[in-house]
Structure 1
């Protein structure tokens, strides 16, 4: 699918639920509560399968399942298997906090899972518990080791926050020296819960990484939002994702399906298109999606506005 700016839109991010088992300070308010058995009242597994199948026929070649927390969805493994074996999509990933991943990683691998992006913002137990409001770092590290053992590609996402974890940047970098993982440092973005801490918490992580003489830049043919670096002799890479200081809009190849059944063409835009009325209507769905993709916006306005236009919090988007 080609938009009017000539970008090939072939990457679909799918939020399975807005429910999460953590309450990270830049993502979800501490008082958000979900019913015990709640997962998604808008889209069924059958709906997701229709969307994935239709999108694969339109040219989507990469799918990432997100949340909230996608591991909470009871049919995650089934959806991954459907994506791989029914839709012939090999590049399948999840973005997760890693809680409970170790227990089902083998099943997900057998279903077709290829990569996991695991959010870890501190390697110190007390800091991790603070920023997640109760998470267990040991459980996340166990999940990382399990995935490495199974041959699942691991990417660690670390949101860098001034005076919180900026003193751990090199500790994260050292993880890449001994493990075949990518550690990606992500700029704090002024979205939802992050807005109150943005002014005092923002760091230009790109400048910090560029100034480290131990790292050298790595060229890649991947269509990725990250700039890559390596330590000499390292098994993994260091990445920087900097939508504020280094916009990657000109190469953006992704769209998002939210758990409420809307399409977000840009993470930072208020605009969402409800697609629920087109589900199970294959011909109409495909024609509508072509028109939607064509009108994907050229860029976000984070730099001009100093805050995201979206009125959703991160856990509601599946960023």
Structure 2
């Protein structure tokens, strides 16, 4: 699918739930409550299969399952298997906090999962527990090692927050010397709960990386939001995702499916399309999606507004 600006939209991020077993400070309020009792009472597993198949038929060839926390969904393995075996998608990933991942990593890999993006904002146990409001860093490190052992590609996502974890940037970089992983630093964004932290917590990670000795840029063949670097002699790469200081809108190739059945064409736009009325109506679904893709915004306005246009929190969008 092409939008009206000539971008090839071939990547879908699909949120399986807005629920999470952690409460990261920039993502979810500490007192967040969920009215629904189930993991997702709006979209069934068969609904997700219909959406996945329909998107693949329209040209989507990369799918990432997100949340909230996607591992909470009881049919995560079946959805990955369906995407891989029945829809023929080879590029399948998940974005996860890795709680519980160690126990299921091998099964996910055997059913078609290729990569995991794991959110880790500190390598110090007390800081990690603080930023996640209760997470166990030891469990995350155990999951990273398990994923590598079974053959999964691992990327670490670290949101850099001033006066909290910017002093750990070099420690994260050194992980790429030990492990064949990508560590990606993400700028704090004024979105949802991030609005409360942004004014005093924003840190320009791009400037810091550019000034580290023995760090050099590397070419990135995949269409990615990250600019990649490599530390001399390292096994893995260092990525920098900078929606604030350096927008990547001109090459954006993604859409998002929210857990309540809406399509978001831009993370920071308030515009959404409710696709629930078109479920199990393949012809109408395809035409509606083609029309909707043409409305994908050319860019976001974070730099002008210093605030995201969306009124959702990150966990409600599917990051």
Q: Please state which band the TM-score falls in when normalised by the shorter chain.
A: over 0.9
CA distance in 1, matches of 2:139, 2:196: 29
After superposition, what is the alpha-carbon deviation per residue over 1:179-210, rounded to whole angstroms, capped at 9, x for unaligned?
Answer: 11000000000011111110110011111101
Corresponding residue for residue 255 of structure 2: 255
Q: Counterpart of 2:108?
A: 108
Asked if residue 172 in structure 1 is aligned to residue 172 in structure 2, the reply is: yes
Residues 284-295 of structure 1 mapped to structure 2, 5 A cutoff = 284-295=284-295
Q: Deviations over 1:102-161 (max 9, x none)?
A: 000011001100000000000000000000000000000100000011110000000000
1:207 is aligned to 2:207: yes
Distance in 2 (CA, whole Å) between partners of 1:52 and 1:261 is 12
In structure 2, the partner of 1:264 is 264
Cα 1:53–1:36 change in 2 (3 A) is closer
Give how far 1:233 is off.
1.3
Partner of 2:233: 233
Shift in Å at residue 286 of structure 1? 0.3
Q: Secondary structure at the match of 1:219?
A: coil
Question: Are residue 134 (structure 1) and residue 134 (structure 2) matched?
Answer: yes
The CA deviation at 1:38 is 1.7
Partner residue of 1:301? 301
Report matched runs for 1:1-319 at 5 Å. Answer: 1-34=1-34, 37-319=37-319
Aligned with 1:233: secondary structure?
Answer: coil
Q: Provide the TM-score with structure 2 as the length reference.
A: 0.99
- Displacement of 1:37 in angstroms is 4.7
Residue 232 of structure 1 deviates from its aligned partner by: 1.3
- CA RMSD in angstroms comes to 0.9
Residue deviations 1:267-319 (CA, integer Å, cap 9, x gap): 00000110000010000000000001111110000000001000000000011
Q: Distance in 1 between matches of 2:190 and 2:81?
A: 35
- Give the CA deviation at 1:33: 2.5
Deviation at 1:36, TM superposition (A): 8.7
Q: Which runs of 5+ in 2 are unaligned?
A: none
Question: Structure 1-normalised TM-score?
Answer: 0.99
Structure 1 residues not aligned, in runs of 5+: none
How far 1:35 sits from its partner (Å)? Answer: 6.5
Inter-partner Cα distance in structure 2 for 1:177 and 1:216: 14
Deviation at 1:243, TM superposition (A): 0.5
Q: For residues 68-87 of structure 1, what are the alpha-carbon distances to aligned partners after superposition, in whole Å with 9 as ceiling and x for unaligned?
A: 00000000000000000110
Moved over 3 A (4+): 34-37
